[in-house]
Structure 1
Amino acid sequence: MANLLARLARTREQAFMSACNQASTPLPAWKHLAERVSPVNCMGLAFPNRLGIAAGFDRAGKLGRRAGNLGFGAIELGSWGRENWPERLPSKNPKTLLGTRLGVRLAATKPESPEQETAQLIHLIEKAWITADYLTIAPDWFQQPAPFQQLHTNLRRLREAQQALESQTRKFCPIVYKLRVKPGNEDACNLVPYLGCQGVDGILISFDFGKPVISAHYRQWQDPVLQANTCRTIEACQRHLKGSSALLTSGGVCSRQNYLDRLHAGADLVQLHNALVFEGPDIGWKLSQ
């Protein structure tokens, strides 16, 4: 197992370096594709397209907004926390083919209670506020048994902190709440109607079989039944939301058809990660053209 994990880590690092290199010298053909993109509005922000890179691929922001040279309208950095905050923040406005939006995924470090985790997240939100176009958080207390009043109180604290920052800085920075969903067990989606009623900016439904993601596990997503069930889950979430919050999704997007199916099911933005590792850094243009 140790050797397998080491090989997987090398494969991912090589894929990331390849993406950074190609983003530094985009192909001429990509420039023509960039001229034909269709911008969209989501969460009060303008995105060049609906395709993004999920957190975990670019942890420190080395690729950052240069993901626009690879055909991505958004990229989510991190996760960032107290113990792994990058020493150097990504460039604010590099010259790229697409004006890629920069998201930052924030994560508390070993919290002892839901209240402590919420306090850590508020501190991280304040720290990342100016750098990011939007933020993503996944509080552990979302998906652990807990009294509803505790959940509601902590969510209210996060929402009030966001509103205070908007008032103080005069900057709008949407916050996306991530729900991890194991395909075939969509219990986490039960929170979607509640979050929509609370008026959160966005909800990310992340379909995840767990770690490590090796090539064989990635290929599981070629099952059309699995893809169809995933789209039905997205459709159900969108019916609950009725446009009250943006719906984002990640996990299992391996082809242009997968991407289009997620959009047709009701996703506003679609993220990928493992496809960059197993299909190559030009997957963004292949999916979004």
Structure 2
Amino acid sequence: MLFDRIVRPSLYRLAYHDPELVHERTIGLLSRFGGALGPAGRLYRTDDPVTVLGLRFPNRVGLAAGMDKNGRALAAWPALGFGFVEVGTVTRHPQPGNPRPRLFSLPASDAVLNRMGFNNDGAGALAARLAAQGKPPVPLGISIGKSKVTPLDEAVEDYRWSLRALHPYADYFAINVSSPNTPGLRALQDKTALAELLAELRATGDELGGDTPLLVKVAPDLTDDALAELLEVCMDHGVAGIIATNTTLARTGIAPAEAPLAAEAGGLSGRPLTARSAAVVRFVHEQTGGRLPIIGVGGILGPDDARRMLDAGASLVQLYTGFALHGPGLVRRVSRGIAGRPG
């Protein structure tokens, strides 16, 4: 592929010095020229419609949260072949995230390590942008999380504020309680804390008069017992689906040449997560008897990986690291490779 042979090496010569700069420049270009990519949609788009969560998706391949946190390039993603888009994670309060450097590319491992820390302009800014520019022509998910400045015992109101602000625009909400890069956040996966959070978010949704699906994004590092307990809470509180998985704290699968980066704090994504994410998807599917739709994400770098996700029980898949490392051709290869699958 042209991207892998020419564009990727050029970008990642820069990325070794500052991969976050590559990301910022990419989003900046797509935000400026995304509307002009319409004709490219014929090249990248795969029509393979499916209904999940009560929503009609033009195909099963979505953009994962983290790529376009602030919803700046919404016109570009459908033109690049994505069947849905998830923006965020956004928080109630704008925040700069963790100090740089905080994003590390590991191309020999087909991986990325990040400790971004929910850097975003805030839920209010995203709501204003969506009000001014409108939604994309594909389903829009919005991932919401806890602000770093908000104490853990006030997290519920933090999430509720973001839910209220963004409710008019989301086709579904992803409740992010599993990022490893916000101190204490993963404690919200515990049974009591999660039950309180979900009860309040469901009540808030009811007050707003809508039935926007709520999905919970889970970590790949939970034990089977902890994950089973989390799923029980989700079922009890009417969660519409699960997103599996977030990044991992594990460091297996890193190429020897990139081993020094294993000492960096943060979450690892990409090829080292492929097997574990599919295993979590399979566990969720079996534990819930297939009653909760699953969006499979983590280590999807080709059609075979996506097929394994669907075979494990996922209804939809998302790309992040594979897209960042291999470009938009991956969207086409994956979507065409899984077209026509039952679901």
TM-score in same-fold range (> 0.5): yes
Q: Deviations over 1:135-187 (max 9, x none)?
A: 11223777328974454233211221122222xxxx431111111224x9666
Q: Note if 1:89 corresponds to 2:103.
A: no
Q: Note if 1:178 corresponds to 2:217.
A: yes
Q: TM-score, normalised by structure 1?
A: 0.80
Tell me the equivalent position of 2:168. 130
Q: TM-score, normalised by structure 2?
A: 0.68
Contact 1:134 1:176 in 2 (8 A): yes
Task: Give the Cα separation in 2 of the matches to 1:134 and 1:143.
Answer: 21
Tell me the equivalent position of 2:156. 118
Letter matched to residue 55 of structure 1: A
Task: Give the Cα separation in 2 of the matches to 1:245 and 1:147.
Answer: 19
Q: Note if 1:76 corresponds to 2:119.
A: no
Task: Give the Cα separation in 2 of the matches to 1:49 and 1:27.
Answer: 17
Q: Deviations over 1:62-98 (max 9, x none)?
A: 211531111111111112222222365143256xxxx
Contact 1:19 1:281 in 2 (8 A): no
Q: How does 1:217-232 map to 2 (within 5 A)?
A: 221-222=270-271, 227-232=274-279
260 and 20 in structure 1: CA distance in 2 versus 1, 3 angstrom threshold: farther
Shift of 1:108: 2.1
Task: Give the Cα separation in 1 of the matches to 2:226 and 2:89.
Answer: 21
Tell me the equivalent position of 2:207. 164
Tell me the equivalent position of 2:231. 192
Task: Give the Cα separation in 2 of the matches to 1:211 and 1:21.
Answer: 37
Tell me the equivalent position of 2:198. 155
Contact 1:227 1:258 in 2 (8 A): yes
SS in 1 for 2:245: strand
Tell me the equivalent position of 1:11. 22
142 and 149 in structure 1: CA distance in 2 versus 1, 3 angstrom threshold: same
122 and 219 in structure 1: CA distance in 2 versus 1, 3 angstrom threshold: closer
SS in 2 for 1:57: coil
33 and 13 in structure 1: CA distance in 2 versus 1, 3 angstrom threshold: closer
Letter matched to residue 177 of structure 1: V
Contact 1:197 1:244 in 2 (8 A): no
Tell me the equivalent position of 2:245. 206
Shift of 1:104: 1.2
Contact 1:15 1:277 in 2 (8 A): no
Contact 1:179 1:188 in 2 (8 A): no
Letter matched to residue 123 of structure 1: W
Letter matched to residue 72 of structure 1: F
Task: Give the Cα separation in 2 of the matches to 1:267 and 1:227.
Answer: 14
Shift of 1:243: 3.3
Task: Give the Cα separation in 2 of the matches to 1:199 and 1:245.
Answer: 10
Shift of 1:21: 6.9
Tell me the equivalent position of 2:289. 242
SS in 2 for 1:89: helix
Contact 2:187 2:193 in 1 (8 A): no
Deviating more after overlay: 57-66 vs 145-154: 145-154
Count of paired positions = 273
Q: Deviations over 1:11-53 (max 9, x none)?
A: 223443465577444485741664x512111111111111111
Deviating more after overlay: 171-180 vs 262-271: 171-180
Letter matched to residue 75 of structure 1: V
SS in 1 for 2:142: strand
Could you tell me which runs of 5 or more consecutive residues in structure 1 were left unpaired when the two chains were aligned: none
SS in 2 for 1:144: helix
221 and 129 in structure 1: CA distance in 2 versus 1, 3 angstrom threshold: closer
Task: Give the Cα separation in 1 of the matches to 2:167 and 2:250.
Answer: 30
SS in 1 for 2:208: helix
Q: How does 1:269-280 map to 2 (within 5 A)?
A: 269-280=316-327
SS in 1 for 2:18: helix
Tell me the equivalent position of 1:66. 76
Q: Note if 1:45 corresponds to 2:55.
A: yes
